[in-house]
């Protein structure tokens, strides 16, 4: 795995789709429709019942330019499970051992943080970029307040980021976005995949730098 390539792709495409489903079998068709719609980076959360099988299936035949990762990765064991399934990156909800485990394995990661101290610690532990979560609690002003003293650490806004929020976050230096509910919508509960594809197209265009 190449953290620098991962970071370059994140900066270019700007969007990481977050797939979190309650039912086994729901995540893979969502992921495939997102890929068809132009999404080049997606995470399947480990809270999804068949997350590892889904990641493995996607990693086997997804186009080379598509980055399939694992989300809600917390422990060293989680990171190893994700890597073994074929995940090309991991995402954590906060500071946890998975960040260091990924760095040791050369696996790119988005390490979760909220405060300046947490951002610095995630970076120190080896996070490729730092996920500010939940971004909606502070909005673009919070990202700007973090970016001003820490311009060398790439920040990603995750949590409650809607289509209309992209431009304000971009304006303060956010390099990318993790988007779940506003993008996936009711597709995780059996909703229209065609409507999902339409939303995906809108987010792909809005997030691309």
Q: What distances in angstroms separate CA 32 from CA 102, 193, 197, one per listed residue?
A: 25, 10, 10
Given the DSSP bridges, would you call strands 155-158 and 90-91 parallel, antiparallel or unpaired? unpaired
Residues 178, 156 contacting (CB under 8 angstroms): yes
The whole-angstrom separation of Cα 39 and Cα 58 is: 13
Active site residue 131: yes
Residue 169 CA to residue 184 CA, distance in Å, equals 20
The 10 Å Cβ neighbour count of residue 39 is 24
* Catalytic member of 131, 144, 198, 202: 131
Q: Which of 43, 52, 65, 121 is catalytic?
A: 43
Alpha helix (H) ranges present in 63-174?
A: 76-85, 97-105, 116-125, 139-147, 166-171
Judge whether 21 and 43 are in contact, CB under 8 Å.
Answer: no
CA distance 59 to 68: 6
Q: What is the 3-state secondary structure (H, E, C) of 31-69?
A: HHHHHHCCCCEEEEECCCCCHHHHHHHHHHHCCCCCEEE
Annotation marks residue 118 as catalytic: no
Active site residues: 43, 131
């Amino acid at each position: 795995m190449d953290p620098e390539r991962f970071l370059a792709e994140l900066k270019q495409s700007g969007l990481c789709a977050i797939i979190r489903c309650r039912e086994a079998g729901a995540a893979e068709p969502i992921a495939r429709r997102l890929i068809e719609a132009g999404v080049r980076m997606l995470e399947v959360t480990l809270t999804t019942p068949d997350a590892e099988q889904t990641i493995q299936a996607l990693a086997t035949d997804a186009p080379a330019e598509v980055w399939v990762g694992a989300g809600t990765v917390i422990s060293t064991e989680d990171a190893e499970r994700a890597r073994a399934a074929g995940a090309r990156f991991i995402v954590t909800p906060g500071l946890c051992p998975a960040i260091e485990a990924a760095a040791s394995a050369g696996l790119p990661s988005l390490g979760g943080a909220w405060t300046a101290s947490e951002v610095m610690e995630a970076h120190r532990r080896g996070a490729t970029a730092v996920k500010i979560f939940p971004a909606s609690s502070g909005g673009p002003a919070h990202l700007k307040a973090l970016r001003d003293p820490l311009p060398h650490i790439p920040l990603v806004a995750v949590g409650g980021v809607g289509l209309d929020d992209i431009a304000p976050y971009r304006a303060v230096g956010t390099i990318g976005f993790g988007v779940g509910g506003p993008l996936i919508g009711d597709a995780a509960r059996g909703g229209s995949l065609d409507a999902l594809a339409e939303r995906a197209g809108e987010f792909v265009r809005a997030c691309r730098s």
